[in-house]
Chain A
Amino acid sequence: MWVCFSSAVVITVYTACGFKSLVCVATNGQMNLFVSEGNPHCLKALAALEATGVQCGVQFVNHDERVVPFLSRPTLPALALPSGQYLFSSNAICRYLFEVNGQECSELCNQWLEWEATVLQPALQQALHMAVLQGKSSEVSKALQGPINVLEQSLSKRNTPYLTGDSVSAADLVLWAGFFPVLSDSSLTLGEHKSLKAWFDRVAAMNACQSAAQKVLQGKGLQGMKSYMQKQPAPQSSQFITLPHLTPSASARYGHLRGWNMLFVCGTDEYGTATENKAREEGLTPQQICDKYHAVHSSIYKWFQIDFDYFGRTTTEKQTEIAQDIFWRLHERGFLIEDTVEQLRCENCQRFLADRFVEGICPHCSYPEARGDQCDKCGRLINAVDLREPQCKVCRQTPVIRSSKHLFLDLPKLESQLEQWLEKSTSTGDWTANAKQITRSWLRDGLKPRCITRDLQWGTPVPHADFKEKVFYVWFDAPIGYLSITANYTSEWEKWWKNPHQVELYNFMAKDNVPFHSVVFPCSLLGAQDNYTLVNHLIATEYLNYEDTKFSKSRGVGVFGDMAKDTGIPSDVWRFYLLYVRPEGQDSAFSWADMALKNNSELLNNLGNFINRAGMFVTKFFEGCVPVMELQEEDKKLLALVSWELQQYIQLMDKIKIRDALKHILNISRHGNQYIQVNEPWKKIKGGDSERQRAGTVTGVSVNIACLLSVMLSPYMPAVSQTIRDQLNAPPSCINTMLEDNGTFVCSLSAGHRIGAVSPLFQKLEADQIEALKKKFGGQQVFDVYAVEVGTVNQVDPEKAKQLTQAVAEQGEKVRALKAQKAEKAVITAEVAKLLDLKKQLALAEGKNPEPAPQKGKKK
């Protein structure tokens, strides 16, 4: 299609001379369009070219060919104008072609083009990335739901065949080309979006579009875009966080080992505004959304080996039955009060607006974008009805104030009962410090009646005749899920839940959920007066940060859940590391580099190395049979050390100090490594009888310690733990005996016991592998141009700096001490790495450049 541009155009050639590696320089008034196969932006330009019939050469080039002389990155499509200038934005190219053809862009057309570039494209990039490169075409509709709804709404309101009126504009082609690849080949369908579907089909039927699609995608659909997508930067993706579930998983496994009669339940809490909104966003019914996420969560837990006795949900008949029973009991006993509440209602959306769905002018400081519950500018709490000029965040209409009758749980009336119970529970049970503190602060401020009903459809219905049309507020309803989930598991559920003298209840959660478990829910149960089992131990974690920022589902920062298995790192290693950094005392941080370091130093060099050596010695030197052991003073000392670590482990595990208990496992293998290092059985085996005897004792003791380690590891790394026992051919009974009472280290592999085949347990995580993962999961900081205006990009935090200065000093001491003791090299390296990391954090907190100063020559 090399046709000369022949109409009269003034030619002013800006020759940008001297640029090498250019594909072609347009001159002499001929227009040329450069495109590449599989690039969706080229689809726009080609369709516009065909639709307008403007005469122009078309040239197919490779994705990485630089066409535009002043751009250092390959950018396609590119239009070389008659003047010698280049257009490198596909939307500008389309607009230009239409204008040359006498159809200037209207304001509405402008608006759609801008929307496409700023809103649709980022969403499309993400959708295509998942569909084409990760093979997750099911994620496409999720990523595109927002833009699709905007388009559908606008099209159905305007009621014109095309976006801007009765004829095709640049906007129609640009948007069509955006959607075409994903609609041609993925699970995304427009079934329920009638106006959008009609519009899309209308545009797609145009010859120009069909011909452009054939040229660019060559009938290969999404796969035709693979080589193009591989060159695009990875967008950040969405994920789930499973940390709060790992701890109880480790505890439950431990409990089973200790022989406790135990029930381990969990579930998805499915009712509430959040679900309704998610459903609206994704164009599904709330029930469909719940089914979808229940399955997603369930599969994640399975992969993480979090084996609940039962993983249930709150959308069940049992839930309605039990929640309504508790409700009536509270009602009969006078613990519910009625009150009228003024609420904002959007007549357009036909619903009452939850606080976060209203925006307006702050009544205190006149900030124009205050939320329904709080003003971001002045920080003051706001009653949604007090907002000036409120707007529904979904449709931007002005909501009206409606009064609505609601029921409140009379917390003040239950306060003294609650305090009595709390006194007892917190003093006899294991409550984490933050759980106690958060609860105390709620009580200190005095309890207020708390609304337990909501004007929603998606929830457990309120059975009271005066309140039909209403459902229970999700936080009244959700904790009752523990009971109903148990009821769905066993008809004997009341033996667990109405049996406070024989049952101890452990609740695990992140710290933001504490008040509902320590104040609100216990009040519901106390008021219902049915001999309920109340929480004895409340274990709340702090937050885990991602690299230096917060895990964020909305901003898509982090890994997790469904993605963890895509990393190629075994589930056991994930469990180990997440429990190792478990934020017990204060917020802690997840970091890829640290994960690799812990894997390589603790798992590979320390734990794995010891267990593997012990097994290998038995195999190599003693033909696979555990040798006779004659214990000397030194061996007894080691056994005492190991027993002490085991007892510490048991004490900490009983108190759910999961992270601290893990350190004792690693201490044992460190002792073991030193023991082998000092006794050198590989040398002694070549010596005389007494030396050979010594080698036998050291090997036998070591392999028995390895067996103990496998038992202690079981709550943390179930698969690895089993592998070790398989390799050692250990008797199953060893598990229970060693964890009995205060912990007793017994010789479970006695002389003559034949072990199995030994092989390495862990793999090294290489630096390049970690770098790749970091990139894939969005560890990079986004450069915020507006932050620069205010000051520096780094937030200076003097309080944190002070804490870190202290931590750096302490860690420095530790490293010096280790070096003085001539500790193992791996240990020192690990501690030095910690020190460097702390220094880096300190630099950040002080607002300095975190790059470490160049290292001086290392003294030997």
Chain B
Amino acid sequence: MALRELSSLEKYLGQKKANKYSTQGDKKVPVLQNNNGPPLVGLVTIACHLAKEAKRPELLGDTAESRAVVQQWLEYRVTKLDSCTKEDIKTVLKDLNLYLQDKVYLAGNQFTLADVFMYYGIHPVIVDLAIQDREQYVNVTRWFDHIQRYPGVRHHLPPVAVLRNRIYTSRHH
């Protein structure tokens, strides 16, 4: 799973050379074999490394504040979101919905790795949401739709229809 996300990120970053990955432990934590040093361990660590290598530092945030915010959501992804129980998922969606109500991206007005990996992580949850629920968390679905249409991000995941076509009223369904 994590390896597929990393390979999608590589494609997004336009990296040609294939990196060598393996995984570690029961949770299949990704490991990047690094020619210039010891291997890097962990999805977030590797993703940040790839962005830096590709000379795309803005994907990690361009101020100290936004960098902290990006790291915070990346951490949120691999801790809270990845170990979420069925009951917790409602809270996650509710909080995220509130957070996103005045934001285009997770770090404000700029697209970052936080968007990419929160999108990958929440994809299975959104797939499983009933269309009514998707409408209930309207800010989340708006953001989600935006990211899945962001050029070059979606790759390994199927697109999800998040909103009903506004032309029809609910009566037509």
B131 to chain A, nearest CB (A): 16
Given contacts A115-B41, A117-B79, A99 and B68 within 8 Å (CB-CB): yes
A92/B72 in contact, CB under 8 A: yes
B98/A70 in contact, CB under 8 A: yes
Given contacts A107-B40, A111-B40, A785 and B84 within 8 Å (CB-CB): yes
A107/B86 in contact, CB under 8 A: no
A92/B82 in contact, CB under 8 A: no
| A780 cross-chain contacts in B, Cβ below 8 A | 85
B41/A783 in contact, CB under 8 A: no
Give the contacting residue for B75; candidates A14, A92, A781, A788; CB below 8 A.
Answer: A92
| B62 cross-chain contacts in A, Cβ below 8 A | none
A783/B72 in contact, CB under 8 A: no
- Chain B interface category by residue count: 35 or more
A778 to chain B, nearest CB (A): 11
B69/A85 in contact, CB under 8 A: yes
A100/B64 in contact, CB under 8 A: yes
Binary interface profile of A, 69-91, with partner B (CB < 8 Å = 1, else 0)? Answer: 11111000000011101011101
Give the contacting residue for B45; candidates A72, A107, A369, A783; CB below 8 A.
Answer: A107
| B40 cross-chain contacts in A, Cβ below 8 A | 107, 111
A260 interfacial by beta-carbon distance below 8 Å: no
A783/B84 in contact, CB under 8 A: yes
Binary interface profile of A, 91-104, with partner B (CB < 8 Å = 1, else 0)? Answer: 11101100110000
Given contacts A16-B102, A99-B64, A115-B41, A788 and B127 within 8 Å (CB-CB): yes
Give the contacting residue for A88; candidates B1, B43, B72, B91; CB below 8 A.
Answer: B72
Q: In whole angstroms, how far apart are the Cα atoms of A91 and B42 in the complex?
A: 15
A711 to chain B, nearest CB (A): 48
B72 to chain A, nearest CB (A): 4
Closest A residue by C-beta to B43: A114
Interface of B is mostly: helix
A110/B48 in contact, CB under 8 A: yes
A789 interfacial by beta-carbon distance below 8 Å: yes
Closest A residue by C-beta to B48: A110
Given contacts A89-B72, A99-B68, A111-B45, A118 and B79 within 8 Å (CB-CB): yes
A107/B49 in contact, CB under 8 A: yes
Give the contacting residue for B89; candidates A69, A83, A783; CB below 8 A.
Answer: A783
| A100 cross-chain contacts in B, Cβ below 8 A | 64
Q: In whole angstroms, how far apart are the Cα atoms of A788 and B28 in the complex?
A: 18
A121 interfacial by beta-carbon distance below 8 Å: yes
Q: In whole angstroms, how far apart are the Cα atoms of A207 and B22 in the complex?
A: 41
Give the contacting residue for B76; candidates A14, A89, A99, A368; CB below 8 A.
Answer: A89
| A772 cross-chain contacts in B, Cβ below 8 A | none
B62 to chain A, nearest CB (A): 12
Q: In whole angstroms, how far apart are the Cα atoms of A282 and B95 in the complex?
A: 40
Give the contacting residue for A96; candidates B64, B88, B91; CB below 8 A.
Answer: B64
B69/A92 in contact, CB under 8 A: yes
Q: In whole angstroms, how far apart are the Cα atoms of A91 and B76 in the complex?
A: 11
Q: Which of A71, A780, A786 has the most CB of B within 10 A?
A: A71
Which residues 16-68 of B sit at the A interface, judged by CB distance below 8 A? 22-24, 26-29, 40-45, 48-49, 52, 64-65, 67-68
A782 interfacial by beta-carbon distance below 8 Å: yes
| A95 cross-chain contacts in B, Cβ below 8 A | 67-68, 71
B69/A788 in contact, CB under 8 A: no
A70/B68 in contact, CB under 8 A: no
Closest A residue by C-beta to B28: A369
| B1 cross-chain contacts in A, Cβ below 8 A | 786
> Can you sample 29 A-B contacts with CB below 8 Å?
A69-B98, A70-B98, A73-B91, A81-B68, A85-B65, A87-B69, A93-B68, A96-B65, A99-B67, A99-B68, A107-B40, A107-B48, A110-B71, A111-B45, A113-B71, A113-B75, A114-B44, A114-B45, A114-B75, A114-B78, A115-B42, A121-B79, A369-B23, A369-B28, A785-B81, A785-B82, A786-B124, A788-B127, A789-B123
10 closest residue pairs by CB, A with B: A96-B68, A92-B72, A114-B42, A783-B86, A70-B99, A70-B98, A789-B124, A111-B45, A788-B124, A783-B85
